[in-house]
Amino acid sequence: MGQLPYGLHWVDEADIEEVTSALRADWITGGPRVAGFERAICEVTRARHAVAVSSGTAALEVAVQCLDLPRGSEIITTPLTFVADANCILFNGHTPVLADIERDTRNIDPEQVRRRVTDRTRAIIYVDYAGHPCDVDALKEIAREHDLLLIEDGCHALGAEHRGRRVGSMADLSIFSFHPVKHVTTGEGGAVTTDDPTLDARLRSLRNHGMDRDAKDRAEEGADYWYDVKHLARNFRITDIQCALGMSQLRRLEQFVRRRQELARLYSELLEDIPWVEVPAARPEVRHVWHIYTVLLNPPVKRDALFRHLRSQGIGVNVHYIPVYRHSYYVRNHPFDPADFPVTEDVFSRIITLPLFPRMTDEDVARVVEAVKGHVA
C-alpha cells in the first residue's frame, strides 16, 4: 500500500456475494434485509430495538427528534467530536451546550456536565471517543438527579463495554454509523438502538417522512392505500443492498475488534520509549474497541510539524477533532469561549491520530513508529 490511510474498510468476497444476492431480490429497499440487519444490531448491542437509517448523522437527528422535547431545550454534548453531534441539536430547534472533556479518555467530563445543567437542560449526548466508553454510571446519576435523557453516540464504540454492559444497551437511545472508517460498513448508514417500544415506533416513522405505515405494510395482500403523516420528517431510509453488506460485515465484528486491539497494543509497546509521546490508555472497567489510535505530543514536538512530516512519508495521519466551537459556522452563529474548554484546547493542540484499521499489518505499525521516531523537532 502506498499512502497508508488513517482508517479503511475491509470488504471481502462473502460481503460481495451477499450484496449481489440483495440486488437480485424483490425488495431492494424497505425489505427483509433491513429487518435482518436490525436484528443483528440488536444482537451485538444487546438492545431490544434497532432502527437502521441512512447515516450516523440521520441517526442523531431522529434520536433527538423522537424525544419530542420542548423547542429551545438545552442539550449538553462534547466539543471534541464530529460536528454532527452539535448540528443535530440545532436541526431540532434546540440549544447545544458544550462541556469540557477528560484528558485521559478525551470523553465528556461528568463533573463539567453537572456544572452546565440548567432548568432548561433536557438531555445529554455523549460520545465514546475512540471506542472508550464514557463513565456511564456518573452520567446516569446526573440524568437521574435532573430528569435528563441520555443519547449515547456509539459511532466509535460498536462492541465496546462498560462494566460488562454493551454500548447500545445503556442509554435511552444509542446511535451508530456504518461509514467505511467505522468498525463495520454499509457504505453510508447508521442505526438507533433503544429498549423503549414507544421510541422505537416513533423512530420508524421519523425515518420515513413521519408516516404511520411503511411501503411493505401497504403492499400486503388486502391492505388499504391509506396512510397518515403524523410528524414533519424526512427520508432517512437505508436500502436492503446496504443492509446485506451490514449483516455480512457484522459476522466479522469480533475479528475486526480483536485485530484493532492487537494493533493498538503493538503501537503502545513500540511508542513507549519515545519521551515526547503520551500513549492512550484504557480504564480497567471498559472494553475498548479502538476506532482510532490517538497520542498526545509533548514539547519540543509540535503536532502540525509531525503531521506534515508523517504525511510526507506517505502516512495518513489525521486530527480528531477540530473542536466544534472552532468551526466558522459556530463562531458566527453560536459562539462559545474557547477559554471555557481548557482541556479540549490542550488536547486539540497536542493530539494526532495514527493509522489503525484491521487490515493493517504489524509491519505497517512498525513503519509508522519508525517514521514518528525519525521526526526531528
For residue 109, the SS3 value is: coil
Residue 17 backbone dihedrals phi, psi, to 5 degrees: -55, -45
Residue 69's SS3 state is coil
CB 223, min distance to ligand PLP, A: 33
Tell me how far, at minimum, the Cβ of 85 lies from ligand PLP, in Å: 6
Residue 18 touching ligand PLP (CB under 6 A): no
Q: Which stretch binds ligand PLP (CB under 6 A): 23-31, 49-57, 61-69, 92-100?
A: 49-57
Q: Write out the H or E segment, with its range, that includes residue 20.
A: helix 13-23
Distance CA 187, CA 181 (A): 10
Could you say which of 94, 179, 207, 287 contacts ligand PLP (CB under 6 A)? Answer: 179
By the 10 Å C-beta count (0-12 exposed, 13-18 middle, 19+ buried), 304 is classed as exposed
Distance CA 357, CA 260 (A): 6
The least distance separating ligand PLP from the CB of residue 167, rounded to whole angstroms, comes to: 12
Candidate ranges 28-36, 81-89, 111-119, 282-290; the one touching ligand PLP (CB under 6 A): 81-89
The gap between the terminal CA atoms of the chain, to the nearest Å, is 27
Closer residue to ligand PLP (CB): 266 or 319: 319
DSSP string, 224-235: -S---B-S---B
The binder of ligand PLP chosen from 73, 77, 78, 81 (CB under 6 A):
81
Gap between the Cα atoms of 82 and 59, Å rounded:
14
Please report whether residue 355 would count as binding ligand PLP according to CB under 6 A.
Answer: no
Enter the DSSP assignment of 365: H
Of 85 and 161, CB closest to ligand PLP:
85
Could you give the CA distance from residue 212 to residue 202 in angstroms, rounded to a whole number?
9
| Catalytic position from the list 182, 216, 302, 373 | 182
Residue 340: DSSP 8-state = G
Identified binder of ligand PLP from the candidate list 84, 206, 351, 354, rule CB under 6 A = 84
Strand partners, 266: none
- Contact assessment for residue 356 and residue 264, using Cβ atoms and an 8 Å cutoff: yes
Residues 130-159 interacting with ligand PLP (rule: CB under 6 A)? 153, 155-156
Q: Is 127 in the site for ligand PLP (CB under 6 A)?
A: yes
Residue choice 79, 96, 190, 246 for contact with ligand PLP (CB under 6 A): 190
Does residue 182 have an active-site annotation? yes
Q: How far apart are CB 226 and ligand PLP at their closest, in Å?
A: 33
Question: Is 57 a binder of ligand PLP (CB under 6 A)?
Answer: yes
Query: In terms of Cα–Cα distance, which of 37, 19, 360 is closest to 189?
Result: 37
Burial of 196: CB neighbours in 10 Å, binned 0-12, 13-18, 19+: middle
We find the least distance from the C-beta atom of residue 291 to ligand PLP, in angstroms, to be 7
Give yes or no for residue 126 binding ligand PLP (CB under 6 A): no
Minimum distance from residue 181 beta carbon to ligand PLP (Å): 7
- The residue number whose beta carbon is nearest to ligand PLP equals 56
Q: Which is nearer to ligand PLP, 40 or 58 (CB)?
A: 58
Nearer to ligand PLP by Cβ, of 157 and 369: the residue is 157
Strand 149-153 relative to strand 173-177: parallel, antiparallel, unpaired?
parallel
Task: Using alpha carbons, select from 190, 228, 189, 187 the residue that is nearest to residue 210.
Answer: 228
Residues that bind ligand PLP (CB under 6 A): 55-57, 81-82, 84-85, 127, 153, 155-156, 177, 179, 190
Q: Which residues are catalytic?
A: 182
